[in-house]
Every structure is written in structure tokens, then in C-alpha cells.
Chain A
Amino acid sequence: MKLDTSGLESFSTLTAPGDDVVGEFSAPPSFQLPNSNDFDGFVKEAIQMVKPAKGTTTLAFIFKDGVIVAADSRASMGGYIYSVKKIIEINPYMLGTMAGGAADCQFWHRNLGIKCRLHELANKRRISVTGASKLLANILYSYRGMGLSVGTMIAGWDETGPSLYYVDSEGGRLKGTRFSVGSGSPYAYGVLDNGYRYDLSVEEAVELGRRAIYHATFRDGASGGVVSVYHVGPEGWKKWTGDDVGDLHYQYYPVVPSTVEQEMVEATGA
């Protein structure tokens, strides 16, 4: 499969002065490979370094009023814990979620946003979510086996209504109505599947997304931080909540002072 290096194209090569032979093309764009004796080992190590990075919980689901996209914010590197924005705004009516390598997700989502805008300018109409997800899937497929780590969902509202696609760096692309990605996804699926109905109201759907992420962060050590929930409607996306999971825990399960069953008293006498 030919590598799709369009994301790395520098436009200066197109305007470079031509050589003496008309019709000779300048060298195709490429990136430098690292100087190492054992390139395969290097790639393996790179993949292993990024592997734990899919420590996250993201989810998205379609319902009658659009798409809900929710994610935690924990990113960990070794012993450090950060908070990262995991819902990426590709354009005003499409969102992408981040799971895997943060740099990979951010770069390729930004690149996708550029391609979508170029499509709009060239075709005088917005790109569909199907098209956008296929663009991303094809790019990721051409880099298969090279250590990219991306597990993303593309959610948006286009002419056909709300759409949701799951795209990953192994080249898979699935169209669906409910997805959850990341190390905490099995936990989130449980709460999500159980509480899901197509005819939820927007408030109920936002609450379902928030609850599902909260439960995943409770059980999964690699997820936590702040739950962000976005809603994509016909007019575009809107951020609804950004709650810390610690606060959510005491909101859902407030501390109830328990009655003392047995009280210890001082022993009287010897």
C-alpha cells in the first residue's frame, strides 16, 4: 500500500523552480527515518512506549436529538498524571475523541480538520461524517505497523443526520450507534448499554454519558480527572459539562453518617 504522506507535504515543493527538463517532478515528500542499526527493534520499542497510553475512557452514542460525546481527562506517563483535553473539535459540527497517543490523535485530527475544510472549499459543501472518517481511516491504514496509536471516534451531524464512526490505528473503521474506547471502556459500556434508549432527552443523555464515564473512572486506574460531555446537534456541537470525578462521586454517593452498632465502653472493674 502506498504511504499517504500528504499530511507531511510542504507546499514549497510545488512552487519550486522547475529543472531544465520540463515535466521532471521533484522528489516525493518523505520523512527522515531515524539513524539506527535495528530499525525493527526501534519501531517495536516505540509501539511499546505508546501502548499504556490507551489508558482512558471515551464514549459516544447516537440518540434522537444527535450525538453525545463524553470523555475523562486523565493522561499518565510513568508516575506522572496530567489532565488532557480528550475531545477534539475538528470543525464546528464534528468532534473527535482521543485515546492512545496524545500527539498522534491531536496531529491527525488537526490534519483531518484541514482536509475537511479543503473539501468544503473545493466542493462548496460540507464533508459528510462518512467521508471524514474514511479520510482518517485511509491515512491511518497507510501507516499501519509503524507505531501510531490512535483509537478515536468521529461524531458529527451532517445531511443524513447524526453519525458516529469508530476509527483506529490498526485500520479498522466501524459505523455504529454506541461506542466506548479505552482501558475503561468495558466499565462504561455496562452503564451505557443499560441506561440507553433512543428517545432520551438531551439532559438525560448528557447525564447518561457523564454517569458512564464516572463509573469507568471509579474502577479503572488509568481513567480519571474531569468528565467532559459534548452534545452534537443539527446546529453543531456544544459543551455541556466538565465535572471533576471526585465531586461527582460524592454527588452520586453522598456520605451518610452510619449509626454506631456497637459502642466500645471502658471496662468497669478488673
Chain B
Amino acid sequence: AAVPSQVVPGADPSVRQLCFCWGPAEMLVCETLFGRRGGSRSRSRRPLLPAALSRCVAGTGEAGPSSSRVFVVRKDQDIYIQTLRKLFNESHGIFLGLQRSEEELAGKPRKAQLVQVSKNYRSVIRACMEDMHQAAISTREPALQSQYSTQVSILSAMELIWNLCEILFVEAAAAGPLLLRLLDWVRLHVCDVDNMVREVLSSEQPSKHELFWNVVDIFVLQGRMDEARHLLSKEATAHPSSGNMYKILDDLMKKMPVPSLGNTQTLTEMELKWQHWHEECQRYLQDGTFASDPRMESICKILLGDEDAILEKKELMTTWYHFLVTRLLYSHPTVKPMELRFYAQAGNTRISSLDLFQGGESSPEPLDTILMAAFEFEIHQVIKECSIALSNWWFVAHLTDLLDHCKLLQSHNLYFGSNMREFLLLEYASGLFSHHSLWQLGVDYFDHCPEYGRVYLELHIERIPLNTEQKALKVLRICEQRQMHEQVRSICKIMAMKALRNNRLGSALSWSIRAKDAAFATLISDRFLKDYCERGSFSDLDLIDNLGPSMLLSDRLTFLGKYREFHRLYGEQRFKEAAQLLLMLMTAHIAPCSFWMTLLTDALPLLEQKEVIFSAEQTYELMGCLEDLTVGKSEKQKFQDDNETTKVEMLRLALARNLARVIVKEGTLEGS
């Protein structure tokens, strides 16, 4: 089989190769010539010229405007169709409900519930179809209209297939009810009878309408006996002379045995009755009762299951599967599920319904292949064919998941050891991630893929652009809920880095705390301190004041927090506490050496207070700190920085004075 070939339109068909790159959602393709790079040897025999001459490589004129384009290419996905949004959102809800109920009712028989889920999915498809149809008729653009119409057809086909799968696989209708379900299916989906019926019935003399007999025929073909009889009665009144014929036909139609849904009769009873009735019809036909009216005779033949008579009404039935169901109705109404294949496919003695219907003219369309596989109960085949035929994973993913819940799929081991259900869900959910808002739905799907869901989520969630803080928080919450620690850290670091680049220090700091990134917290704290030194004030005071235990993340951060606390204490005039804290910052080496000068300078006002604040011991310690600071410097350094020298002098003086005062104070007895 040939490989699907996807051509990038507009690219230059000359002797150039294609360079390719994966993006998170899109792919990049651009024209290039690989022969140039890497090593002086080239298969294409083009010498690797030095840069200056690279433009004039002889021959094919490679350089030129057409070589400078990069194509951003994307796989066509339905997620980009706005009108299908409802489909994705609502089916997501149904999917989740199904997974959860499985967990709750594990093991208990739940056919009725599964059928309901199936019906829910189908009603979502139908709702979408309706929306799409509305869009098609209300748009003025022919291109859009055609696109919408195509979508309607696709959705319609999806619902058709799903409905059949529901009957055969989910409900697994048994012989008897099976036929009734199939009749419903045909009536609902195949050929639009309603318009025709309406037209005929609303006319003045229905029996004179040109489509009258078409309508009668289609009613018969679809087993709608009462409606057929109703119409025929009109014809009967118009032709009193043929009264007897009509009465007999009416009677036969009334008496036709149909399978019942309840337990009122067994299959055997039904078969007996049917055999009886069949023979009665046979007698009337052979007696020539209907000989004078070909139309009536044709109806009788149909009732007898005459294939040729049924096939004559091909145009009315429009499809082979309608033909199939009609055949069953009139030749084998108690057909068992497993016998369906004999009517559908080509067997030894039988020709397939498809071939009979089409007369071997055309080859089957994808839809035909899928339905055929369903009638043959080849579930895996149905899924495979649907995957190929449809451009989206939505259908196969949800249908397969439902069938898996019905315990119908054997574990069909794929490369990664996961089963088909998971494989399809992974593909579907991965597709959702390339959409700016639908990705959130994808998260839940990954959650319900036990083998690879988590790792796929990890790989995809990292690629979601964190354009806004809200989006980042949303992604973060998802990661935190699932203990995806690596991703949490990564996201926080990215946001911290972004904030830092935009000079939003407070934001950067809170992100790095959340990321538990000590190194980054240190970096940002340094920035804060630097800003303070330059401007004399702190930004983001709220944040720093309320660091709490996260202060301990990094030494620098601790210092920042404590230093700010010092300023607060000073502002509240709690000088003794402030002094103690200040000293501790140096003696406990929480403050970096580079900052000591600033701290000591901060101590000055405390030393110059009227009241003595620093005790003798504290003063000695301060002096020690000052000496530690200055001892390393060479004479040359000392002389270079005048400002520095002055400060040191001032400090020495202030410290000495304080010492003097405090010695006196501490030496003096109270009261004396």
C-alpha cells in the first residue's frame, strides 16, 4: 500500500532538501541543502567553500529569495474548528462520568447504564450536527458553507456508526429485539422520508400525488405497517372497485408478526406465527389476487421477502444497509446477532447485501467498510477502519473507551505494552494539548490512562506557554494536585526568571520560594539588598515582612527578612530589640561580609541616642566586628576610599563614646 504523501504547497520544487523540526504542536519545514555542512566531504560533490564565496556556488543558483522561507506546518485537527468545541467539552464530561462510575460500581452489571452513556454521546454528536447545520445555512461565504456541510456529513456518519455499534455491541440486542433496533436505526438515519411524507399528506388528494406510491413503498420497506395501511385506506376509498384487494392487503399487513420487546412470546412462537403468515401471503400471491395491480402485487412480493422486488425499490432505500435490514425484516425477522454477517458479507452461497445493492459497480467507501465490519462483529476492524477514515481521534478514542468498559476488547498489546483503549486516548489527549484552552480537557484523559498517562502529561504540560500569571497558576495547580514535583519546580523557576527579567522582584521572590530554589532566592535577595543600598528603601515590603518559615530557604533570604525586621523594630522605636538583632546578624554570620559596613552604619544612630542602647558587651562585640572588617585591608586600600575611612573613624568614635557611657551606667549602682 502506498504511503500517504503530504505535500507542502508552495514550496519550490527544485533540487533542495527539506529540513525538519518538531515544535510542541506544529512542525517546521524549510528548504535547505544539507551537503554544505559538517566535514569537507560531500556526496553531492559540492566543495565546501569559505564563507565569502558561499553565495556563488556554481550551477543551480541555490541562493535566492525562495530559499529563505520556513513553513510552519500543522496536522489538520478538528480541535481547531470552533463549532466542534461543544463536542469536545461535553463528551469530556460524559467520559469522566463513565470512568468514575466504573470505579464506583466495579464489577456489577451495568448494561443499562452503558447504553445510556452511549446515547449521551450520540446526542452530543447530534447537537453538534444541528449547530453545524445552522452555521452552514446562515453563512454567506461559499467556502465556509462547504466546510460546514462537509462537517455535517462527517458528524452524521459518525452518529450512524456509533448507533449501530450501540445496538450490536453495547446493548448487544438479542434475536428479536435486534431487528426492531435495526429498523429504528434505518428509519432514523437512512433516507429522508419525512419531507416526502409531509408533502404527500398535506396535499389535497394524497392518493393522487405523484409520490404517493413512493411513500407507501418506503413505509413497507421500513416496516411501518400502520402508516402504510393508513395511506392505502385513502387509496381504497378512491378506488372502491378494488376494495377487496385493498382489504386483503390491509389485513395481511395488520397481521404481520413482529418480534416483541417484552417477554410476551418466545422466539419459537414468533417463528411459527411468522411462517404461517408467510404462507398465507404466498397463497394470495399465487392466487393472482393482486394480479390486476402491479403496485399492490409488488408490495405483496416485498412482504414475502422477494429480493428482486425489494431491489427494484433501490432508489427509495438509497443504501445497502437499508436493503440489508429490509431483507431481514421480510425473510428472517428472528435473526440472531451472529447471523448478521451472512446477510452482510459475501458467503459461499450468498452474495453480500452490498454487492447485490450496488450490482458490483462501485468499490466500497470507507463508511461501507466500517459498517460491514460492525455487522460482522469485527470490533477491532471497526476501530481500525474508523481511525483511518476519520481525521480526528475523538471518535475512536471515546467509542473504544466505551467498548472497553463493556469488556469487549481483548487486550491488544501494542509496542508500549498498553492496550488499544489507552493508545487511542493518548493520541486524542495529545492532540488537545496543542490547543490553547482545550488542553485542560486533555489532562483528565491522561489521568485515566494508567500506563503512560502520567508521563505523557509530564511531557506535554511543560510545553504549555505560561503567558499570564493566571495560566501559570492553573498549570501549577494541576501539577501540584498530581505530585508532579519536577514540573512544579520547573514552572516556578520559569516564572521567577520571567519576573526577574521584568524587574518584578517581589513576584520573582515568591516564585522562587514556591520552587524551593535556594540559589535563585539568594540571587533575588541580593538584588533587593542592592536596591536598598541604592535607594534607601525596600520594595515589596508586604512580601518580605510575611516570609515566615520560607525565610529559611536561603541564608541570604533569611538575612533579607531579618534585616527588614531590624528596620521595622527601629521604626517602632524598639531600639533595644533592634540593636540586639543588628548585632546578631553579624555575630551569627547571617549577614554577608559585604553588608557589614552598611549594618555598622545603621548602628550609628543607635549609638548616638540619648539613652544608652548597646550594653558594654555588645559594644565590645561591635568593635570586634569593625576591626574584623578593617583588618584585611591594606594601607593603600584605606587611603583610596575617603568616604569609607571617614565612616570608620566616625564609628570608632561613636563606639568609644558609647563604651564610655555604658561603663559609667553599668558601674553606677541604682539609686545612688
A and B bind:
no
List the interface of chain A (C-beta within 8 A of B).
none
